[in-house]
Structures are given as C-alpha cells and as structure tokens.
C-alpha cells in the first residue's frame, strides 16, 4: 500500500476533470480525494503500487477531450487508510502555486446535450440553458478561479433537488457540472416585442417575428446577436440602414445539412465549422440560391456559422432557414451584453428582444476564420478560443507580469508571465466610450483571473491612440512599441505549429493600413529583417500623400487622385481642394502603406470610391480579381531601397482594361514585387524565411500567389494560422517585442 499526492496543471478546470479523476479512482478501487485549487487540481490516492502507477498513467492518457492536464508535482505521503474517494470542497487559498492557471473557453452545446434538448421525454427538453461537464459557458460566466459554481454567474441560481442529485452523482454526466441548470432552478427566457410587450411563449414568438421579416436581438453566450431571415431582402435592408452597416458582409447561421445547398464549402471549411470552436468561417458563395442579395454584396465569400448555444438549436429547429446573425452593437463597438443597452441604444432597430437572466460577465464576439491554400486561419479571436493561450520564446522573470494594450482598431489585449501569453477576445475599435469601458474592465480582470499583478505595460508608439493614452496614465514601467515591429514580432508567438525560435533572423513583410514608424512617418509597405527587439527596415514602397489624412481611408477616391498626381497626371475634373492639399502638403501625410495603395487602385478602377467599412475597397478588388486568371504583372523596380509603383498606376490609367483583368494584374504585381524584395533581402542577408503580417495578407489571392512563388526562389513562407494577421495580433507582437527588450540588459522601459 502506498500514498501519492499529485498537483496537476494545464487545462483542468471547467472541463469535467474532477469527475473523471473520481470515476477513474473509483473504478480502480483507490481511496483518496480530488480538489480544485486556484487553477490547479490536487489529487491524493492510496492503494497498491502497481494500481497507483496505472492510475497515474491514465490520469493523462484517458482525460476528457477538453482537458489538457499535466502532472506538475508528485510526492509520497503517509498512508492514512482512507475508506473512499471524494471530490472535496475547492480551496482557493491552497499554497499549491498558481503559475499554470487556465481559464477555459466557452464550449458549444455538445451532441449529448443536443439530443436531450430535442427529446420531448427529457426533463430538459426545449430548455435553452442545458449543459454538462463537456459543454456550456465558461470564460463568459467566470468571476474568479477556482472554477466552482459560487465563483460564476450561476451563483444566484440554487440547484433544485434533481439537479443537486445529478451534481453529486459520480456516474452522472453532470457530476460537478458547474453551470448545471434545469427549467425548475435555472435561468429563464423572455421575449419582449417592442410593440406588444412580453409574449407568452418566448421561442415561438421570436421565431414568428423572424418569419414575419422583423429584426430581433437574441442574447447568446458572449453577447447579443441581431437576427433576421436571410432569405428576405427587406429586414436586411432595414438592419443595414439602421445599424448603420451599409455594405459590410453579414454572417448567416445554417444547419450543417444546409451547407452544400448555399456554399461551395470544402472539407476544410466544414471541419472548422463543426469544430469545438464553432466559429464563423468564410466560405465560397453559391450563386442562384435563395439568399438575399444584400448579405455580402460584391463579395465571393460569405460568413457561415452553425448553431452553438442550445438556444440556437431551438431557433433553428423551428425555423429551419438561414438566419442573418450579426453582433448586436453600434458598428465598431464591442458586442452588447445587457438588455438595457439593447433598449437604450438599438431600440430603433429591433422589433423584439429574446432575453435571458443568466448574466454575461464579459463580452466575447464570435471567432472568425478563413481558409487559405486549404488551411484554416484565425482572423478574429473570440468565443470558443478565447482566452487564447500561446507560448513566448522570451520567458519573463517569475516576478514580472506584462500587459499589452494592443492597437487602435481590432483591439485585443494580452497578458504575459513565465513563458505564457494569454490573448483576450477581440474587443473593438477603440474610438468609442463603450470600447473604453470594456477595455478597462478586461485590463483589470485578465491579470486578476490568472492571479497576477501587472508589473510592465507594452503599448503602441502612436501618441494619439486611446490605448497609448491609457498606458501613459499608469504607474508601471512601459514599452512603446512601433506598430510594424509588433506586427513582425507577433510571428514569434509559439503555437502548436512550426515555430520561430528566440533571436532567429527572418524577414517580414508588414503590409497594412497605416501605423507609426520609428522615423515618425506612416509605414505599412515595409520589408523588415532581424528579430524581436532588433528590426531593420531596408525596403519599402515609395511614400505617397494621403490628402485628408484618416479621411482618405474612408474615401479611396482621394488616394486615387493622389497617386495620379504623383505620376504627373492631372484631369480637369479633379477636386481643386484636394489638389491644393496635395501641392501645399496640408493635411496630406506621406505613407508607404500597401493597404492604402490597394484602396487607390480600387478607386482608379471605379470599384470603390467611398468605403463604409475598413478594407472594403481591397476586399471588393480581390473579389473581382477572382474572375480573371491572367498571370500578367507589372515589374516594379527598386531604387534606393524604395519600391517604385508608378508603372502600375500609369498602366491602370493609360489603357482601357477589363476590370477583372486589371484587378488580377494588381494582385500579381504585388506578389511579384514581394518576391523581388524578398530575393534582394535574401541575397544581402542570407535570410531564407519570409514572414507576412498585416491586414493586407488577409487577401487570399495574394497569399496563394506567394505560396506558389516563394518556394521557386528557395524561400520559405511563415504565415501563422492561430493568430490574426491583422491588427488583432498587435497585442501579441507588443508582448514579444517588449519581452525581447526586457531580456536585453541595456533596454530600460520608459
Ligand atoms: Zn453537454
Ligand atoms: Zn434544476
């Protein structure tokens, strides 16, 4: 007889791990106990040595699918002749260390719960809050760790006798399921029609409203959605006019069996859609199907999501038609989580609110993914993967905790300690009061959830960013990180894929909108080389003027005019005010940003002169380019380290071209220019690994060309899959850049 004590860490809370340990020990006739501590699990077992050895092995090999346990410590203890095996009360004060606390992501309604939900004989039939140890909300309901009901948004729902019996029964699949609920004791749904008040049957009333062509708000896991029938044009028109969101594509919810009817999805698309994350996946649109034309105007792809919360399954079981599902917010702001906010801010838009009384502690938008060269890539980190856990090649000293405040648009936050990087879900663009409120909430809560106190802050070097202003008001030492250095360094986040090592030299193309560079100019079309903490910029697109500054991003016609003026081409119809700005350099900052160059090209081709959402012009340009398969490109020479793009613009202006052909030539030209710059950099530095980072590389066509062309020149492409290539990855890059600087004795924070 021996006695062993184990401390397990990794993802062990909120994943059914304690019930699993209990069942395993009981099955092996071992006595002892299992206990949640702050983020870890403690296990004590007594029994024959060979049985305990078997137990220890199976603790890891047989763990539940969502669990990722590892044994951090094991000790021999005195045998006490314990009689049984128990799950004992959690101990948040236990001095078992807390360096590997894991906060689990929210999990979609599992197949077992789905069948109970739709089984009229089951006590949870039609119950929108069904869950078990393998599914249900986690990140969005947790107040603090250990993950026990009293530390979640379920604390105010005492279990009824039946639920309590399931909770306490080791053989039950809801044994210690913390958000456990049933119609007797759990949260309830209400549907309130704006015109007719509270309705008797919430789900059916909501479905009727959707069938009638109305837009309603539906409370979900990480916030409210706006929903309407995706086969009717009129409610979508209404939604677009009142959100307002005139052109930005909307996602639709389908049942899995409807996917082939509406899209040309491949197996890769389907695998992502049915994965545990249940993300929005951009899929190729099918034409001639019964979907309203105004869902994703001018684009070839459409965002698809399968039902994931029990409420979605119930709505779809009744409606069985595609639904528009979009975050309920004012465009650019974080998703709304309170019915009072829907009432105060979106009442002009919705005809009813399907609400419930389970609180959402913090917002989490849906995760968004797309498929490039048959591989899935995360575009937006959100519900189902957040908090996203990554490794850092630059571990921090054990007393240090670094927080990164991210970018101005597509903001995410990052927390780092030891070797760990924890990424928040997408927050929002940082231009609104509500964005600030959520940002400040999360920047306090994220370290607290992991039992850390922030000791250092990393932020963008741009003094005008809201996140920079917040950072400069804090007392901690801080690092100001240049936007494109952060883009480059984000590629060093350690994922389950092929990783870059600490101080490995690579070259990175950082192509995006604009960001502040270390020469006080606006970058965005750069080739950097080096490694975190030491980036050199040797090549970049010849800077051009942005007449109107930030306004030029929303009005690509301004960029088109500017590019023409740079080429010495004037039209009599040109805007005189813009000419004046351009000539006199008034509010016409220089930039090398490829994103803006693409904006200008799209406007020159008459595709998009005014953009209502970020990236609209390049997205529409790419969609049209898909209709041509020409290989033609224009050679862009490199002179004194600058890529000279005049040839492309002159070619676009001087000859009349078919639009799709010209759009394709633009993409081919950028791909060939990148290859040319990469070969030049490789010849000069010997570096063979080419990273890509920045919003421009969300362009599938461009990346597909690079994937084909780079290997032909003996170069390897590094294109991470698990972190967003756009500004959503900036906070990750800030962490890595600041960590690399902290490793260097000479660097001191501000
Ligand atoms: Zn379940
Ligand atoms: Zn109950």
Residue carrying the six token digits 């968004």: 368
In a domain, 560, yes or no: yes
Ligand 1 centre to CA of 109 (Å) is 5
Ligand 1 centre to CA of 156 (Å) is 21
Cis peptide before 112 (omega within 30 of 0): no
Ligand 1 centre to CA of 131 (Å) is 4
CB of 413 within 8 A of CB of 404?
Answer: yes
Give the pLDDT confidence score for residue 745 in this predicted structure.
61
Ligand 2 centre to CA of 171 (Å) is 18
Average pLDDT over residues 518-538: 95
Give the pLDDT confidence score for residue 498 in this predicted structure.
81
Distance, CA of 547 to CA of 529 (rounded, Å): 30
Percent of the chain with pLDDT over 70: 98
In a domain, 222, yes or no: yes
Q: Cα-flanking dihedrals φ and ψ of residue 401, to 5°?
A: -135, 120
From the CA of 135, which ligand is nearest? 1
514, containing H or E segment: strand 506-516
Ligand 1 centre to CA of 714 (Å) is 49
- 454 pLDDT above the threshold of 70: yes
Ligand 1 centre to CA of 112 (Å) is 6
From the CA of 165, which ligand is nearest? 2
Indicate which CATH number applies to the domain containing 668. 3.30.420.40
Give the pLDDT confidence score for residue 93 in this predicted structure.
56
Render pLDDT for 411-449 as a digit per residue (tens, 0 to 9). Answer: 999 999 999 999 999 999 999 999 999 999 999 999 999
What does DSSP assign to residue 310? H
Average pLDDT over residues 316-338: 94
* Residues 613 and 701 both lie in one domain: yes
* Residues 302 and 250 both lie in one domain: yes
Render pLDDT for 181-214 as a digit per residue (tens, 0 to 9). Answer: 999 999 999 999 999 999 989 999 999 999 999 9
Cis peptide before 85 (omega within 30 of 0): no
Give the pLDDT confidence score for residue 11 in this predicted structure.
86
Distance, CA of 669 to CA of 633 (rounded, Å): 5
Distance, CA of 178 to CA of 36 (rounded, Å): 12
Strand partners, 219: 224
Average pLDDT over residues 208-237: 97
Ligand 2 centre to CA of 18 (Å) is 21
- Rounded to two decimals, the pTM is 0.92
Last residue of a domain, which of 28, 59, 87?
87
Strand partners, 525: 511
Last residue of a domain, which of 87, 112, 132?
87
From the CA of 308, which ligand is nearest? 1
Which of 150, 138, 292, 149 lies closest to 215 in space, CA to CA?
292
Ligand 2 centre to CA of 276 (Å) is 26
Ligand 2 centre to CA of 172 (Å) is 14
Radius of gyration of the chain (CA): 27
From the CA of 109, which ligand is nearest? 1
Last residue of a domain, which of 315, 336, 368?
368
Ligand 2 centre to CA of 21 (Å) is 25
* Residues 460 and 536 both lie in one domain: no
- 38 pLDDT above the threshold of 80: no
From the CA of 162, which ligand is nearest? 2
Q: For residue 449, what are the domain limits?
A: 387-493+729-743
Ligand 1 centre to CA of 72 (Å) is 29
Distance, CA of 467 to CA of 487 (rounded, Å): 17
CB of 626 within 8 A of CB of 701?
Answer: yes
* Residues 328 and 391 both lie in one domain: no
From the CA of 65, which ligand is nearest? 1
Strand partners, 70: 9
Strand partners, 9: 70
Ligand 2 centre to CA of 184 (Å) is 5
In order of 38, 40, 512, the CA distances from 669 in angstroms are 54, 53, 17
Q: CB 357: neighbour CB atoms within 10 A?
A: 15
Ligand 2 centre to CA of 182 (Å) is 4
* Residues 534 and 635 both lie in one domain: yes
Distance, CA of 459 to CA of 477 (rounded, Å): 11
- 96 pLDDT above the threshold of 80: no
Ligand 1 centre to CA of 425 (Å) is 23
* Residues 653 and 567 both lie in one domain: yes
From the CA of 181, which ligand is nearest? 2
Terminal Cα distance for the chain, rounded = 59
In a domain, 48, yes or no: yes
Give the pLDDT confidence score for residue 730 in this predicted structure.
98
From the CA of 166, which ligand is nearest? 2
- 66 pLDDT above the threshold of 80: yes
User: In the numeric block, which tokens belong to residue 48?
Assistant: 């024959």
* Residues 637 and 669 both lie in one domain: yes
Ligand 2 centre to CA of 192 (Å) is 25
In a domain, 272, yes or no: yes
Give the pLDDT confidence score for residue 95 in this predicted structure.
46
* Residues 441 and 314 both lie in one domain: no
Indicate which CATH number applies to the domain containing 450. 3.30.420.360
Quick one: how far is CA 95 from the chain centroid? 34
Indicate which CATH number applies to the domain containing 18. 3.30.70.100
Ligand 1 centre to CA of 110 (Å) is 4
Average pLDDT, the chain: 94
CB of 456 within 8 A of CB of 476?
Answer: yes
Ligand 2 centre to CA of 181 (Å) is 5
Distance, CA of 391 to CA of 405 (rounded, Å): 18
Give the pLDDT confidence score for residue 473 in this predicted structure.
97
Counting every residue, how long is the chain? 750
Give the pLDDT confidence score for residue 657 in this predicted structure.
86
Ligand 2 centre to CA of 438 (Å) is 33
Confidence of residue 705 (pLDDT cuts 50, 70, 90): very high
Ligand 1 centre to CA of 115 (Å) is 10
From the CA of 188, which ligand is nearest? 2
Average pLDDT over residues 4-23: 89
In a domain, 173, yes or no: yes
* Residues 243 and 364 both lie in one domain: yes
304 by DSSP, 3-state: which? Answer: strand
Which of 310, 6, 289 lies closest to 129 in space, CA to CA?
310
Give the pLDDT confidence score for residue 12 in this predicted structure.
87
Give the pLDDT confidence score for residue 749 in this predicted structure.
62
Ligand 1 centre to CA of 114 (Å) is 7
User: In the numeric block, which tokens belong to residue 742?
Assistant: 């902290």
From the CA of 127, which ligand is nearest? 2
Distance, CA of 214 to CA of 208 (rounded, Å): 9
Which of 186, 65, 201, 171 lies closest to 130 in space, CA to CA?
186
Identify the residue with better confidence: 338 or 514. Answer: 338
| Dihedral angle computed from the Cα positions of residues 18, 19, 22 and 23, in that order, rounded to the nearest 10 degrees | -150
From the CA of 123, which ligand is nearest? 2
Ligand 1 centre to CA of 130 (Å) is 7
Distance, CA of 496 to CA of 479 (rounded, Å): 28
Indicate which CATH number applies to the domain containing 308. 3.90.870.40
- 105 pLDDT above the threshold of 80: yes
Ligand 1 centre to CA of 222 (Å) is 18
Render pLDDT for 235-253 as a digit per residue (tens, 0 to 9). Answer: 999 999 998 899 999 999 9
Distance, CA of 434 to CA of 440 (rounded, Å): 10
Ligand 1 centre to CA of 30 (Å) is 28
Ligand 2 centre to CA of 175 (Å) is 13
In order of 51, 304, 375, the CA distances from 265 in angstroms are 49, 10, 13
Give the pLDDT confidence score for residue 92 in this predicted structure.
61
Ion ligand 1: residue ranges with CB closer than 5 A: 110, 113, 132, 134-135
From the CA of 154, which ligand is nearest? 2
Give the pLDDT confidence score for residue 750 in this predicted structure.
62
Distance, CA of 280 to CA of 426 (rounded, Å): 14
* Residues 250 and 287 both lie in one domain: yes
Give the pLDDT confidence score for residue 330 in this predicted structure.
87
Distance, CA of 164 to CA of 175 (rounded, Å): 9
CB of 446 within 8 A of CB of 420?
Answer: no
* Residues 470 and 611 both lie in one domain: no
Ligand 1 centre to CA of 310 (Å) is 10
In a domain, 243, yes or no: yes
* Residues 470 and 515 both lie in one domain: no
Distance, CA of 107 to CA of 124 (rounded, Å): 18
What does DSSP assign to residue 50? H
Distance, CA of 86 to CA of 34 (rounded, Å): 6
Ligand 2 centre to CA of 197 (Å) is 28
Q: Could you tell me whether strands 414-417 and 420-423 are parallel, antiparallel, or unpaired per DSSP bridges?
A: antiparallel
- Tally of structural domains, the chain: 5
From the CA of 185, which ligand is nearest? 2
Ligand 1 centre to CA of 308 (Å) is 11
Give the pLDDT confidence score for residue 62 in this predicted structure.
94
Ligand 2 centre to CA of 221 (Å) is 20
In a domain, 379, yes or no: no
Give the pLDDT confidence score for residue 405 in this predicted structure.
98
What does DSSP assign to residue 470? H
CB of 513 within 8 A of CB of 613?
Answer: no
In a domain, 442, yes or no: yes
């Amino acid at each position: 007889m021996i006695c062993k004590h184990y401390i397990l860490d990794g993802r062990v809370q909120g994943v059914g791990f304690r019930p699993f340990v209990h069942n395993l020990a009981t099955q092996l006739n071992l006595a002892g106990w299992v206990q949640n501590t702050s983020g870890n699990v403690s296990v004590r077992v007594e029994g024959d040595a060979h049985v305990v050895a078997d137990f220890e092995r199976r603790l890891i090999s047989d763990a539940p699918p969502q669990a990722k346990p590892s044994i951090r410590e094991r000790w021999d203890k005195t045998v006490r002749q314990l009689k049984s095996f128990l799950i004992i009360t959690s101990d948040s004060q236990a001095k078992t260390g807390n360096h590997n606390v894991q906060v689990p992501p929210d999990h979609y309604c599992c197949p077992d719960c789905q069948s109970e939900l739709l089984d009229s004989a089951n006590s949870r039939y039609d119950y929108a809050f069904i869950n078990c140890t393998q599914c249900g909300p986690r990140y969005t309901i947790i107040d603090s760790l250990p993950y026990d009901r009293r530390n979640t948004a379920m604390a105010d729902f005492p279990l009824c006798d039946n639920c309590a019996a399931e909770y306490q029964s080791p053989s039950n699949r809801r044994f210690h399921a913390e958000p456990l609920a049933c119609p007797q004791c759990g949260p309830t749904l209400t549907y309130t029609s704006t015109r007719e008040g509270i309705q008797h049957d919430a789900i059916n009333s909501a479905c009727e409203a959707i069938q009638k062509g109305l837009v309603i708000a539906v409370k979900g896991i990480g916030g409210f959605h706006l929903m309407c029938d995706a086969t009717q044009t009129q409610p979508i028109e209404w939604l677009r006019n009142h959100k307002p969101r005139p052109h930005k594509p909307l996602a639709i919810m389908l049942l899995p069996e409807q996917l082939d009817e509406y899209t040309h999805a491949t197996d890769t698309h389907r695998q992502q859609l049915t994965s545990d994350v249940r993300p929005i996946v951009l899929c190729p649109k099918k034409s001639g199907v019964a979907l309203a034309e105004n869902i994703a105007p001018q684009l070839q792809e459409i965002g698809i999501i399968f039902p994931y919360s029990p409420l979605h399954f119930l709505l779809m079981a009744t409606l069985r038609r595609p639904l528009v599902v979009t975050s309920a917010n004012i465009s650019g702001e974080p998703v709304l989580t309170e019915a009072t906010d829907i009432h105060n801010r979106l009442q002009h838009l919705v005809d009813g609110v399907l609400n419930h009384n389970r609180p959402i502690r913090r917002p989490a938008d849906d995760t968004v993914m797309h498929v490039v060269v048959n591989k899935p890539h995360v575009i937006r980190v959100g519900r189902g993967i957040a908090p996203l856990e990554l490794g850092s090649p630059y571990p921090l000293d054990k007393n240090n905790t670094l927080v990164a405040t991210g970018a101005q648009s597509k903001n995410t936050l990052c927390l780092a300690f030891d070797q760990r990087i924890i990424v928040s879900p997408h927050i929002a663009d940082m231009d609104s009061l509500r964005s600030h409120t959520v940002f400040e909430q999360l920047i306090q809560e994220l370290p607290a959830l992991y039992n850390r106190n922030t000791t250092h802050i990393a932020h963008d070097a741009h003094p005008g960013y809201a996140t920079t202003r917040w950072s400069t008001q804090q007392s901690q030492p801080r690092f100001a990180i240049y936007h494109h250095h952060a883009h480059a360094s984000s590629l060093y986040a350690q994922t389950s894929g092929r990783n870059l090592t600490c101080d490995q030299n690579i070259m990175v193309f950082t192509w995006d909108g604009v960001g502040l560079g270390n020469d006080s100019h606006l970058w965005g079309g750069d080739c950097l080389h080096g490694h975190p903490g030491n980036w050199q910029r040797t090549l970049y697109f010849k800077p051009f003027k942005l007449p109107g500054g930030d306004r030029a991003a929303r009005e690509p016609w301004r960029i088109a005019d500017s590019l023409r003026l740079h080429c010495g081409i004037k039209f009599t119809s040109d805007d005189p005010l813009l000419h004046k700005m351009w000539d006199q350099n008034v509010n016409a900052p220089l930039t090398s940003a490829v994103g803006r160059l693409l904006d200008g090209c799209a406007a020159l081709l008459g595709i998009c002169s005014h953009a209502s959402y970020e990236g609209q012009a390049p997205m529409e340009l790419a969609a049209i380019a898909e209709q041509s398969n020409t290989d033609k490109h224009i050679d862009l020479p490199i002179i004194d380290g600058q890529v000279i793009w005049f040839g492309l613009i002159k070619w676009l202006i001087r000859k009349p071209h078919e639009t799709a052909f010209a759009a394709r030539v633009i993409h081919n030209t950028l791909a060939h220019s990148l290859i040319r710059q990469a070969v030049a950099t490789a010849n000069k530095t010997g570096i063979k690994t080419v990273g890509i980072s920045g919003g421009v590389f969300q362009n599938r066509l461009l990346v597909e060309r690079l994937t084909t062309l780079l290997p032909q020149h003996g170069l390897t492409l590094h294109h991470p899959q698990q972190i967003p290539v756009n500004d959503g990855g900036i906070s990750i890059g800030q962490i890595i850049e600041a960590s690399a600087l902290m490793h260097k004795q000479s660097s001191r924070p501000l």
